[in-house]
Amino acid sequence: MKLATVEDTRAFGRRLAGILRAGDLVLLTGPLGAGKTALVQGIGAGLGVEGAITSPTFVIARVHRGPVPLVHADAYRLGDRPDPRAEIDDLDLDASIEDSITVVEWGEGLVEELGNDEYLRVRLDRLDDDTRVVELVPHGGDWAARTRRLETT
């Protein structure tokens, strides 16, 4: 699907929030500036959580309280660490994963097991005309059925 403007990306995030529930893991992939954080802003708005969703500079994960809490993690800086998995474990993200919706930027290859290998991958890409395209790639669980539901809403 094509996302012409940042507002379209946020609107898509709000729609995506409609199929999310506690315990979910969502991995956002795509290059720098693809719109991953913008998408999380839309998800946060759709879920009705508190606090501004930003690109954390020093923080790797932030919890936004709401009807279902949103854990927003950005693993970008973990890439340089000698043992990124240990850093992820130190975050204790899985302590709350069952009660929260966990959305991770740059988490591919690092956090899949947090969701017992059931997760939704959201691929964002930036085209030459500066628009974005988004693709949902379901992995396990009932993600395939849920992404189909999103297409019909």
Ligand X SMILES: Nc1ncnc2c1ncn2[C@@H]1O[C@H](COP(=O)(O)OP(=O)(O)OP(=O)(O)O)[C@@H](O)[C@H]1O
Give the rounded distance of the alpha carbon of 19 from its chain centre. 13
3 binds, among Mg ion, ligand X, none (CB under 5 to 8 A by kind): ligand X
From the CB of residue 47, how many other CB atoms can be counted at a distance below 10 Å?
21
> Does residue 5 belong to the site contacting ligand X (CB under 6 A)?
yes
Contact 10, 38 (CB under 8 A): yes
Q: What character string, x for contact with ligand X (CB under 6 A) and - otherwise, covers 34-73?
A: xxxxx----------------x------------------
> What is the DSSP-derived secondary structure letter of residue 5?
S
Tokens of 20: 């999310």
Q: Cβ closer to Mg ion: 26 or 146? A: 26
Q: What character string, x for contact with ligand X (CB under 6 A) and - otherwise, covers 9-38?
A: x--------------------x-xxxxxxx
When CB distances to ligand X are compared, the closest residue is 35
Q: Cβ closer to Mg ion: 93 or 103? A: 103
Interface residue with Mg ion, options 17, 26, 36, 53 (CB under 5 A): 36
Number of shown-chain residues binding ligand X (CB under 6 A): 19
How far apart are CB 81 and ligand X at their closest, in Å?
A: 17
Instruction: Show the beta-strand stretches assigned E in the chain.
Output: 2-3, 25-29, 61-64, 70-74, 101-105, 119-126, 132-139
* Residue/partner pairs of 79-83 with CB below 8 Å, 24 or more apart: 79/106
Helix (H, G, I), strand (E, B) or coil at 81: coil
Residues that bind ligand X (CB under 6 A): 3-6, 8-9, 30, 32-38, 55, 105, 130-132
